[in-house]
Amino acid sequence: MATDKKALGGRGTDLFAGIPVNDFKSSLEWYQQLFGAPPSFFPNDREAVWEIAQNRWVYIIVQPDRAGGSVQTIMLDDLEAQIEQIAERGIRFSKEETPAENVRKVMYYDPDGNELGLGRAPSE
């Protein structure tokens, strides 16, 4: 096995992180409120995709049999500002953890119970 610590040898170019949901309309509204923007695009009538950074997307997909078990974490350069902006849009985080010094994560839960965490880690 290779000693490179990057998965797939560091050759990944894009990332799509999927979140299975029950109800497209209510989930679409919730994620638009959380992200503060409409989806970047709709691949079809059961998916909505948000670009969170270049070549990095989060999407919801109607899959009722899998809804509610997703865990995603997005690391941010200004976590506190994002928390404040999201609160101004009417959503407050449900849980918070500080797993290490200068590391903070807050968790939001969508209507199905999927966890979307926002985090901050110390810069190197």
Q: Give the separation between CA 68 and CA 54, rounded to whole angstroms.
A: 27
Strand order from edge to edge, sheet including 41-44:
15-21, 56-62, 47-53, 41-44
pLDDT at 86: 98
CA distances from 54 to 42, 76, 119 (A): 17, 14, 18
pLDDT at 124: 64
Residue that has been written with the tokens 């997909």 in this structure: 61
pLDDT at 123: 74
Q: Which domains does the chain have, with CATH numbers?
A: 14-120 (3.10.180.10)
The answer to whether the CB of 48 falls within 8 A of the CB of 31 is: yes
DSSP state of 77: S
Task: Using 70 as the pLDDT threshold, list the residues of the chain that sit under it.
Answer: 1-4, 124
DSSP state of 37: S
Going through 24-92 in order, the beta strands assigned E by DSSP cover 41-44, 47-53, 56-62, 71-75
